Amino acid sequence: MLDCYTKHMKRIILLLVLLVSVVSKAQFGDLATVEFSVSSDKQGVYELVFSMKLAEGAYVYGSSDALITPPKLVLNLDSSKYYSPLNAWVIPPFKTKYVEDFEGNVTYYDGEELVVKRTIKSTVTDFTISGNYQAQVCNKGKCITSPYPNPKFQIKVGNGGNEAVVKDNQKIILNNIEVLNSQGECNYDFSKSVPEVKTFNGQSIDDNKDDSYWNTFILAFVFGLGALLTPCVFPMIPMTVSFFLKGSGSKSKGKFVAVIFGLSIIVIYCLIGTVFSFAFGPDSANLIATHWLPNVFFFAVFIFFAASFLGMFEITLPSSWSNKSDENADKGGVGGAVFMALTLSLVSFSCTGPIIGTVLVESVKVGGIEPLIGMLGFSSAFALPFTLFAFFPSWLKSLPKSGGWLNSVKVVFGFLELALALKFLSIADQTAHWGILDREVYLALWIVIFTLLGFYLLGKLKFSHDSDLPFLRVPRLVIAIFTFAFVVYLLPGMWGAPLRSLSGYLPPLSTMDFRIGDNIEEGGELCGKPQFADKLHLPHGLNGYFDYEEGMCCAKDLGKPVFIDFTGHGCVNCRELENNVWADPEILELLKNEFVIISLYIDEHTLDIQKPYISLFDGETKIQTIGQKNADIQKVWFNKNAQPYYVTLGVNEELLNLPIGYDVAEDKAGFLKFLKKSLSNYKK
């Protein structure tokens, strides 16, 4: 008890000592002396040298992760229109040690002389360099700290020679092991000033479109073909086509009725898509796609669908709906064909409902007319066989007979629904930062699900509606082989294999606790520890920022162009490009060394910004989270709300190239050309 009390008192006394030293006007005395020099061996290029000589045994503190942190070595260089840095501060390495009094690790420099250099460029011969500094120099328990607030310095270059004028009578200029920018001296502020970046060289950025309509249509079309193989739909194909041909009086009329039937199916499903398109605008779609709450709801819905497909229960609509529709279908003719299409849609809902739900959920997440496109693709595939078999009735003989294999198709869909459900839970987990479904947990669940599917295909598992399997047919064996091969492919991912073909559907590699050979070299120059770096990460060991203003300030400080990455936790295409395109050695080298990366997460709803403001896009919404702010930036400047979206800017917020989306960036050559052209335009 006494030890605990003594420890707490020691902390309090130490903290008071640090506070007193900060506010006092102490000098560095005999602990340190500093010399400053400016030299130039090339017109317009200057080398700044800060030389700090330390007394024997003296040391300077750097950064710290300790509970109580000593004032660290900092130098902030003011922005100026008369000069620009050509590189970051060249700083010697600091040592690290654990300090019991601070209860953590601290970095420090204890050499005889601390020399820090930096190169700047100026277009004039007479100018003044200015900034402010902070430091604490210690020796044998004695510590002297620079005055509070941070004293400013001015360095005159040109007339009168190189003269160092330091305010507050301080004869010292210092630098931090982590070079920091002072936000008060950086004038980037999106909420107050909106630069004009909607054109580039007279060309509208909207001319460079990212269309995903074809992708949505094709994916939905495949789902529609899959729905045909369910036990609720497949047996209906020959029955319905026979009705057309026999009940219409002639083959030609039967074909006409079949066309009306097929078109009616398309119209019915497109109406559903239209309703969803109008119900969910761009902002609603983004919220649905990214917020943890709707994603948890979708996870529950998919689990519900999977349970139905696996035979736990059947999803049915009120029988009165289908009975009424069936009565009208018996009247024949065009009206009868329309009602027959409606009857088929209602009767087959127990099998098609989960598949339709999957298509709608994925398309609603994109927003706009995507739900309509999705339903058009699904219904086109769904209606196709009914129309084709009416024109070519002899094909009906080649159809396999209905049987237990149809229920097996349902069960397979059930396993797939289970696997897809985890994707929604993963998005919720990432956006809410729960940490319950990291990459290795996600992969472990997928390995179990697909292993069970493989055993089911081999007949080792049996569900309630399954028929006996006296022998294994070749197609079923082939599918089982591919399923087990997929499981084997997943296994190395448990130890950090990138699994690039699945990169869009798995949690990022950064969520793994352990990776064999995890020695990724970090790359990318920084001007200090970025905000939100404990929650947000870049792939491949890249360094960057997650706040627009902070990243722009660093870019100006370093004299580098900016690469803005509009992304999201739940962005499938973002992960795909990061793993397959960004990983290219030449592209990765450019991103590391030539650009300051600003990664703006659109779906980050848990991290708040320091200064809330009213949306510049609609003038009504209060912007409070960084996700809202990043979405506001993308909509206001670029009239976009889809990710990924890549923009390159100069330090004056001018476009360096036309922004690109997924359709251009998925091609490595196109992405590399985009980066090189941006860099070339910046240098010009």
pTM for the full predicted model: 0.58
Three-class DSSP category at 84: strand
- Peptide linkage before 71 cis (omega within 30 of 0): no
> Is the model more confident about 22 or about 666?
666
Count of CB atoms situated within 10 Å of the CB of 277:
22
* Long-range own/partner contacts, residues 262-265 (CB < 8 A, 24 or more apart): 262/341, 262/383, 262/384, 262/386, 262/387, 263/383, 264/337, 264/338, 264/340, 264/341, 264/342, 265/341, 265/344, 265/345, 265/379, 265/382, 265/383, 265/386
Question: Which DSSP letter does residue 94 get?
Answer: P
Enter the tokens of residue 211: 């269309």
The candidate with the shortest Cα–Cα distance to 52, out of 79, 73, 68, is 73
Three-class DSSP category at 394: helix
Q: What is the mean pLDDT of the chain?
A: 75
Amino acid 515: pLDDT: 63
- Domains of the chain with CATH codes: 2-180 (2.60.40.1250), 204-209+525-683 (3.40.30.10), 213-401 (no CATH)
pLDDT of 671 strictly over 60: yes
Q: Tell me the CA distances in angstroms from 64 to 61, 70, 137, 138, 366, one per residue in order.
A: 8, 8, 15, 15, 43
Across residues 202-208, what is the average pLDDT?
Answer: 56
pLDDT of 259 strictly over 90: no
> Is the model more confident about 127 or about 287?
127
CA separation for the pair 219, 370 (Å, rounded): 12
The candidate with the shortest Cα–Cα distance to 564, out of 536, 588, 595, 586, is 595
Sign of CA dihedral 473, 479, 482, 487: negative
pLDDT of 427 strictly over 60: yes
> Is the model more confident about 401 or about 169?
401
Enter the tokens of residue 246: 């026999």
Widest distance between CA atoms in the chain: 111
Enter the tokens of residue 454: 């493989």
Helix (H) or strand (E) holding 553: helix 548-558
For the stretch 225-250, pLDDT in tens is: 887 777 667 666 766 666 665 555 56
Provide the percentage of residues in the chain whose pLDDT is more than 70: 69
- CA 485 vs. chain centroid, Å, equals 29
Burial of 207 (0-12, 13-18, 19+ CB in 10 A): exposed
- Peptide linkage before 149 cis (omega within 30 of 0): yes
CA separation for the pair 290, 443 (Å, rounded): 21
Which of 114-123, 138-147, 188-197 has the lowest average pLDDT? 188-197
The candidate with the shortest Cα–Cα distance to 50, out of 145, 128, 126, 133, is 133
**Are 102 and 128 in contact, with CB atoms under 8 Å apart?**
no
End-to-end CA distance of the chain: 69
Burial of 38 (0-12, 13-18, 19+ CB in 10 A): middle
Query: Strand locations in 197-272, DSSP E?
Result: 199-200, 203-204
For the stretch 270-318, pLDDT in tens is: 887 777 666 665 556 566 666 788 888 888 888 888 888 888 877 655 5
> Is the model more confident about 661 or about 483?
483
**DSSP secondary structure of 446-494:** HHHHHHHHHHHHTTS---TTPPP-SS--HHHHHHHHHHHHHHHHHGGGG
